[in-house]
Structure 1
Amino acid sequence: MLHMETNLEFARVNDWFMIVMLWVLPAVALLLAGLAALMFSGNLPRFLRWRAGELSPTEEEPSISVLIPARNEAAGISDSVQAVLANTGVVLEVVVLDDDSSDSTAELVREIAQDDGRVRLLDGVTLPPGWNGKQHACCRLAEAAQFDLLLFLDADVRLKPTALQQLTRRKAQYADQGPAKGEPISLLSAFPNQETGSLFEKILIPMMHYILLCYLPFDRMRSRTDPGYAAGCGQIFVTDREAYQRSGTHAAIRTSRHDGLQLPRIYRQNGMLTDCVDGTGLANCRMYRGAGEVVRGLLKNAHEGIANWRLLMPFTVLLSGANVLPYVTLGYALVQYSDDNHGVAVWFAALTSFAAIILSHLPRWVAAWKLPQSPTGAFFHPLSIVLFLLLQWWAFFTHLCGKRVSWRGRDS
């Protein structure tokens, strides 16, 4: 009797397991993949739209200070500065802060400054306690800027000749809807074309666009000043001195390594509007080189982004449910089919899972076409999700242990 009851209980559990695997989870996967694809389809045109000629010409050339923090950037600092100097349609200066470099960064900038009076070099100082190196450098650069329009630029970004003109025009626009209607754009960020070389770069670097376009509602971001809609790319930021001072400057995020998120947040906390746009046609950037730099780069500021107690579990569910779960349920359906179980549930699970897989890949393939990004990364999209989530959890536990990833020779 006991043996029969055990078998009956096992049969019930097995039935429930099959219901979950063949009906519930495939439907959940399709729903999550569909929601991400739907958000992407609405956000992508908004991200790209400003390219389409909505910017009206200005009557006079704006004046702008381009501010570049540089630490051991000898390999590319000359190209970066020369690309800025080649810009037309603006009056500009370039201020570079040599942040305690151990290479020839300072000497290379001095050589350019001798030939072009628009270039200045600031010498670095000992990093004060409690400051992140980049935030301290940006704060000093802003204090030294001659003009009221400020553009913070990473040293590995190469601007195109009309980038400054286009960015200043976009910065001069206002919100045209929602509670922030009529408010100026106080902080503008642009995402450069991300150049990728190694396989890890191709797989993981485009995740910045995937997260941004699949999970941030752009219509709300551009019509409200709520801090929860803060987003940006720390490689390019444009602001004006008055708004920058009102935000609290980089001093308000002095300990942060994630200015791409934290700088827009402090603007919004002070009631100001921020925006981010596609900068594919404005600049190129090779952010990291090789797997080691990609891993360290993603780990160094992950806890300020997703790898924290508030966001890590929801994003694990959203990302794995939309992009990994469909493969699990499809595999289970195929196993049931091979066992001669050809019922409606098996066909439902197989077709629903396959549809979810198509939808989950769609944003990456469209992004590879429109932005553009590597087709290799799009092909390995599920692997991208798995690696990205593993790194987020690694960063979460590392942060709990009080450890920080060293970056450019610093732990801060």
Structure 2
Amino acid sequence: MILALNILASLGLALGGLYAVVTLMNLAIFGVPRRAPEGTPRPVSVLIPARDEAGNIGAALEAVLAQEGAQIEVVVCDDGSTDGTDRIVGEFAARDGRVRLIHGAPLPMGWNGKQHACHQLALAARHPRLLFLDADVRLAPGAVARMSGYMDARGLDLVSGFPRQITRTLGEVVTIPQILVLLLGYLPFPMARMLPGEGFAAGCGQLMLVEAEAYRAAGGHEAFRDRMHDGLNLPRNVRAAGGRTDILDATPLARVRMYDNWADIWSGFTKNATEGMAKPVALPIWTVLLAGGHILPPVVALVAWGAGADYAAKVALLTTAMVLLARALLAWKVRQRPLAVLLHPVGVAVTLAIQWSALLGARKGAQAQWRGRLYDMN
């Protein structure tokens, strides 16, 4: 038993050490300009797909219209809302000429709802840069100018970032911070920036700025019309078309509360899981990486301590401390709640449960429901 514990402790050290090293390396270069650059950046079309967003759209538009140092227009696509979303946008448009409302066409067969709305928004846009923005995201006053400056300084065709995630319920605190745990823990940013491969592309569909020419060269949202995960697919396609993409720290630029109840959390993460981790080949590997590096060490430490396996206990405790230190630095950087760090192994376990549920559901032909529409999970 002691030999087995020693082996498991060493495995945990290797896997946990990988996460800690990559996270610390990424945190050192994960940033955003402190202020907007001097000069006038290229005009930006802020494009907001909205379906039953009456509770969000007013605050979203107020934040966009308060942008400083940027020439913008705002186009909202009302995607068949039944809650008065279009009326609210129309009131803004009547007061401010920068706001336009378009009514989305009926959803064609084979299209995802959001991708269809974004496709129509891109066709309606008049400016050379397109900022795709979810209706629940609240921009800081200089966000558009700072993102544009980041693109200019690095010669990018697309840049995106994860807004500061507002979490209030226990389910939110446990699950939502795992998005950045995975991103910063397992995507080495130096390699992603140096190598043009699609495999290093990543992004966040909540907040994504792209050159209109690069967007069209990549086929736009039409190129992945039947997919759910725009945050992965658009950056990959831009890279495939020869463009350059990157991710910045959007914590000071925007904030969002993604979900406010457990049912929406589960549905929200499940709907596009099979386009990311939840694939037959990938998910077993992810399970070894995550369970082995984040859950195994504290479990081994407890068991080894009781069994008198001093070496295994010390190695497992060292690994646990190393992982939690990296996790705490990440939480500090992106302003996550301390409770998310304390419950980190639980969050990893829940993440794996969601991914496995999505994979098994897809194999059984299950469908994901989102915004009143059903989609195949494949």
Common fold by TM > 0.5: yes
Give 2:76's match in structure 1, choosing from 87, 93, 96. 96
**Contact preservation (8 Å) 2:30, 2:249:** yes
Whether 1:264 and 2:248 are equivalent positions in the alignment is no
- Counterpart position of 2:272: 301
Q: Secondary structure at the match of 2:253?
A: strand
Whether 1:35 and 2:18 are equivalent positions in the alignment is yes
- Within a 5 Å distance, the mapping from 1:251-330 to structure 2 comes to 251-330=222-301
**Contact preservation (8 Å) 1:97, 1:121:** yes
- Within a 5 Å distance, the mapping from 1:187-198 to structure 2 comes to 187-198=158-169
**Contact preservation (8 Å) 2:67, 2:144:** yes
- Counterpart position of 1:137: 117
Q: Deviations over 1:184-217 (max 9, x none)?
A: 3111102111111111101111101100001001
Q: Deviations over 1:93-118 (max 9, x none)?
A: 10000000111100000001000011
- What is the rounded CA distance, in whole Å, between the counterparts of 1:272 and 1:335 in structure 2? 55
Offset of 1:20 from its aligned partner? Answer: 1.8
**Contact preservation (8 Å) 1:204, 1:384:** yes
Offset of 1:61 from its aligned partner? Answer: 4.3
Whether 1:381 and 2:330 are equivalent positions in the alignment is no
Q: Return the letter of the residue paired with 1:307.
A: A
Aligned residues: 375
Whether 1:80 and 2:43 are equivalent positions in the alignment is no
- What is the rounded CA distance, in whole Å, between the counterparts of 1:398 and 1:362 in structure 2? 35
- What is the rounded CA distance, in whole Å, between the counterparts of 1:168 and 1:404 in structure 2? 38
Whether 1:222 and 2:193 are equivalent positions in the alignment is yes
Q: Secondary structure at the match of 1:102?
A: coil
Give 1:349's match in structure 2, choosing from 290, 297, 312. 312
- What is the rounded CA distance, in whole Å, between the counterparts of 1:69 and 1:393 in structure 2? 30
- Counterpart position of 1:106: 86
Q: Secondary structure at the match of 1:173?
A: helix
Between stretches 315-324 and 399-408, larger displacement belongs to: 399-408
Q: Deviations over 1:121-153 (max 9, x none)?
A: 000211000000000110110000011111000
Whether 1:400 and 2:363 are equivalent positions in the alignment is yes
**Contact preservation (8 Å) 1:36, 1:214:** yes
Whether 1:232 and 2:203 are equivalent positions in the alignment is yes
Q: Secondary structure at the match of 1:109?
A: helix
Give 1:125's match in structure 2, choosing from 77, 102, 105. 105
- What is the rounded CA distance, in whole Å, between the counterparts of 2:161 and 2:113 in structure 1? 22
Whether 1:20 and 2:34 are equivalent positions in the alignment is no
**Contact preservation (8 Å) 1:187, 1:273:** yes
Offset of 1:31 from its aligned partner? Answer: 1.4
Q: TM-score, normalised by structure 1?
A: 0.89
- What is the rounded CA distance, in whole Å, between the counterparts of 1:253 and 1:75 in structure 2? 29
Whether 1:199 and 2:179 are equivalent positions in the alignment is no
**Contact preservation (8 Å) 2:33, 2:146:** no
Q: Return the letter of the residue paired with 2:298.
A: Y
- Counterpart position of 2:135: 155
**Contact preservation (8 Å) 1:197, 1:290:** no
Unaligned runs of 5+ residues in structure 2 are: none
Q: Secondary structure at the match of 1:191?
A: coil
Structure with max Cα Rg: 1
Q: Tell me the percent identity.
A: 42
Q: TM-score, normalised by structure 2?
A: 0.97
- What is the rounded CA distance, in whole Å, between the counterparts of 1:18 and 1:60 in structure 2? 66
**Contact preservation (8 Å) 2:42, 2:128:** no
Between stretches 354-363 and 190-199, larger displacement belongs to: 354-363
**Contact preservation (8 Å) 1:71, 1:100:** yes
Unaligned runs of 5+ residues in structure 1 are: 1-16, 175-183, 338-345
